[in-house]
Amino acid sequence: MENKDFKIEFSDGFQMGDWGVACWGKTFKVNNNGIKLAAREDEELERIIFDVEKKTVSVIVKNPTLSEKAPRVLDLSDATDFFDELRKNIENILMVKGTFKSVTPNEDRTIFEVS
């Protein structure tokens, strides 16, 4: 994966400033001094949605097992560089760092179907 903007690469993810993204197995999470977005392996991540106007990222899972307070929508309007890098690299994060078999974006790269 080309990684010229993410500052630190580690075994299961990347870091950019205080923001980090990690994927291992089929668990996906974004951190910034605590978990800000999460989908656990047993929940079966189905879709990641990037709202380019609001600069938010949402995860849709098939079998929610975390509490209703689990972070499923993340506002990155104050971290637009991280938002852009996450969107640009999401396939590699999920398939190289994690074990997802396919990540299929729509034409404008705002919705990613995951399996």
Structural domain contains residue 26: yes
Predicted TM-score of the model (pTM) = 0.91
Structural domain contains residue 43: yes
* Confidence category of residue 25, pLDDT binned at 50, 70, 90: very high
Q: What is the pLDDT of residues 46-103, one digit of tens each?
A: 999 999 999 999 999 999 999 888 999 999 999 999 999 999 999 999 999 999 999 9
Q: What is the pLDDT of residues 77-91, one digit of tens each?
A: 999 999 999 999 999
Structural domain contains residue 1: no
Structural domain contains residue 82: yes
Q: Does 4 score more than 70 pLDDT?
A: no
Count how many domains the chain has: 1
- Output the DSSP codes for 35-97: EEEEE-GGG-EEEEEEETTTTEEEEEESS--S-TTS--EEE-TT-HHHHHHHHHHHHHIIIII
